Amino acid sequence: STDGGRNLSLDSIPMGLPMSDPSAWATAMNNLGMAPMGMTGQPLLPDFDPALGMMTGIPPINPMMPGLGIVPPPIPPDMPAVKEIIHCKSCTLFPPNPHLPPPATRERPPGCKTVFVGGLPENGTEQIIMEVFEQCGEVIAIRKSKKNFCHIRFAEEFMVDKALYLSGYRIRLGSSTDKKDTGRLHVDFAQARDDLYEWECKQRMLAREERHRRRLAEERFRPPSPPPVVHYSDHECSVVAEKLKDDTKFLEAIQTLLTWIERGEVNRRTANNFYSMIQSANSHIRRLVNEKAAHEKEMEEAKEKFKLALSGILVQFEQIVAVYHSASKQKAWDHFTKAQRKNISVWCKQAEEIRNIHNDELMGIRREEEMEMSDEEIEDPSEMKETEESALVSQVEALKEENDSLRWQLDAYRNEVELLKQEQGKASRDEDTTKEQQMKLLQQALQGMQKHLLKVQEEYKKREAELEKVKEDKLKIERLLENLKEQESSMSRVCACSQEKECPVEKTLSNSPVKSEREVLLVGIISTFLHVHPFGASIEYICSYLQRLDSKICTAEVEVLMTRLQNTFRQELSGVGASLEKRWKFCGFDGLKMT
C-alpha cells in the first residue's frame, strides 16, 4: 500500500541495492564517505578509512532509522543533534557532515508557510519531492522549476521548521550514482504573497479579539448604574411606606419617594398616601436626633478620657522638668562636664517646650468647655454653682501650674545667663590673645615695609645721580659733534676749492656712477662675462656666476649698478608671449664712441 511505502518503520523500508551483492553496497557507501554497514548494523569492511571518502569526520551511522517520521523528536539542548540516513520509497537522504556549520537561512518572513528547495537532482520529479517533504506535514502546492529548484507550500507554519531540518542532506535517486540522480538539498524560507495575506488576516482577527477583550474588561470594571425606580402604584406605595419605617432600608425608600414626587405622581387620589409617607419620613428625624445625642455622649466620654490622659502626661513632664532643674543647681551642676551640661540644658528646653504645648492644649479644651457651658441655658441653680466652683478650682490649678512653670523658666534663664557670661569671658580672653598676636604680626609687617621703602629710596637717589651724569655726558658729546661737523664743512669747502683749481678731471671722476673699488671690479667682471655672451644674459644668470666668486653678492645690488651704467650695459627684451625674457648686453664699445 502507499501508506506502508511512506512509513519509515523497520518493516516497510525498501532498500535501493540488493544485499546479495555486499561489495556494491560497500562501494556506494564508501563513495559517500561513510562506513559501509549491513542490515544488522555490522561493518562490511572492518578496515574502512573514513579519510578516503567524500565526507570525512562522520562516525559510523546505522542506515536503518526508527519509524518516527522524517523529522526526529526534539533533542535536549545539552546533546548534539545527530542526523541519520533517511530512506524513502524512491530515494535515499544522507546527512551532512556534523562538524560543518549549519546551513545559512534568510530572515523568516511573517507567517511563512512556503519554503525554497534548491539542489534537486536533474531527474527529480514532483512525486519524489512530494514523497520526501510530505512527511513534514500537509503539502498544499508544489511549484517546480526547470533549474533544479522548487517552492513548496505547507498547511501550517510549524511544518516549515521540519522541512528546514532537511537542509544540507545529500539526495540520491534509487541506487544510481549518476550526477543527474544526485544532489544536495538547500531548504530556506520563501516569501509568498499568500502567506503574508493570511498572516495579516490573522493579525487583524487577533487585534479584533484583543479590542473585544479590553471592552469586556472595561465594562466589567465600570461602576454599575443605579437601579431604576419603579413606577407608582398602590402596591408599591405600601411597600415604600413599610421601608420608610425600617432604618436599614430608609435611604432606598426616601430616594423612591423623592423620585415619585419629582415625576408628578402626587394628585388628589394619591395625596393621602404621600402625606402618610412624608409623615413617616418626619418620624425618622426623631430617631436621627436620638442617634446624634448618643454619638455626642460618646464624644464627651472620649474627651474626658483624653483630658485625663493629657493631665497624666503633663504631670510626668513636670516631674522630668523638675529633674532637669534640680540637676541645673550649683551642687550637682559643678560635677558635670561641659558637654553634659550642654545636653542637659538642651533637653530641659525641649521638655519645657513640649510641656507648654500640652498645657496650652489642655487650657484650650477647658476654655472651650467653659464657653459651651456659658452658652447653654442651665435651669438648675445648684448645678450652676457646682460648675462655677469646679471652674474656679480648675483656674486655681491652672494658675498654680503656670506659676510653677514660670518659676522653673526663670531658673533656667538664670542658669543660661551664667553660662553665657562664662562663655563670653572665655571668648573675650581668647579674642584678646588673638588680637595681641595680630598686632604683633602687623607691627612686624610694617617694620619690614619701612625697611623696604628706605632701600627703594636709596636706589632711587642713586639712579637720579646716574641720570644726571648721563645727561651731562650727552651734552658734551653733542657739543663735540657740532664742532666736528663745523670742521668737516670748512675742510670740505677748502678741498673743493683746491680740487677745482688743481684737477678738473678729478671733479668728473667724483661725479662718476662707480663709487668704490668693489663696484669697479664688479663692472670689469660683468663686462668680461657679457662679452663672452654676445646675445646677452639674464640678471639671475649673471648673479649666479658672480656668487661663485663671492657669495655675499645680491641680485638687487648688481641690477642697480648695471642700471646706473647705461653707456656700458643695456637691457633688452627677447622672446614672444610666455617666453618673453629680459637680457642684459655689453655695449661699452658703442658707449665709448658716444661719450
527, with CB counted inside 10 A (0-12, 13-18, 19+), is: middle
* Rounded distance between C-alpha atoms, residue 245 and residue 259, angstroms: 18
- Average of pLDDT values for 364-389? 65
- Average of pLDDT values for 276-303? 89
- Say which residue, 10 or 137, is predicted with more confidence: 137
Which residue has 562490511 as its cell numbers?
44
200-255 per-position pLDDT tens digit: 999 999 999 999 999 999 988 888 777 788 888 989 999 999 988 888 888 888 88
pTM as predicted: 0.31
Name the least confident of 137-151, 160-174, 287-301, 568-582.
568-582
Does position 53 have pLDDT exceeding 70, yes or no? no
* Rounded distance between C-alpha atoms, residue 423 and residue 221, angstroms: 71
Query: Given the DSSP bridges, would you call strands 114-118 and 91-94 parallel, antiparallel or unpaired?
Result: unpaired
* Rounded distance between C-alpha atoms, residue 139 and residue 10, angstroms: 25
153, with CB counted inside 10 A (0-12, 13-18, 19+), is: buried
Q: Can you give 268-323 as a three-state secondary structure string?
A: CCCHHHHHHHHHHHHHHHHHHHHHHHHHHHHHHHHHHHHHHHHHHHHHHHHHHHHH
pLDDT band at residue 113 using 50, 70 and 90 as cut-offs: very high
* Rounded distance between C-alpha atoms, residue 446 and residue 434, angstroms: 18
Does position 61 have pLDDT exceeding 80, yes or no? no
329-347 per-position pLDDT tens digit: 877 888 888 888 888 889 9
pLDDT band at residue 23 using 50, 70 and 90 as cut-offs: very low
Beta bridge partner(s), residue 170: 94, 184
Beta bridge partner(s), residue 144: 150
Buried b / exposed e along 200-225 (16+ C-beta atoms within 10 A): eeeeeeeeeeeeeeeeeeeeeeeeee
445, with CB counted inside 10 A (0-12, 13-18, 19+), is: exposed
Buried b / exposed e along 166-177 (16+ C-beta atoms within 10 A): bbbbbbbbeeee
User: Average per-residue pLDDT in the chain?
Assistant: 78
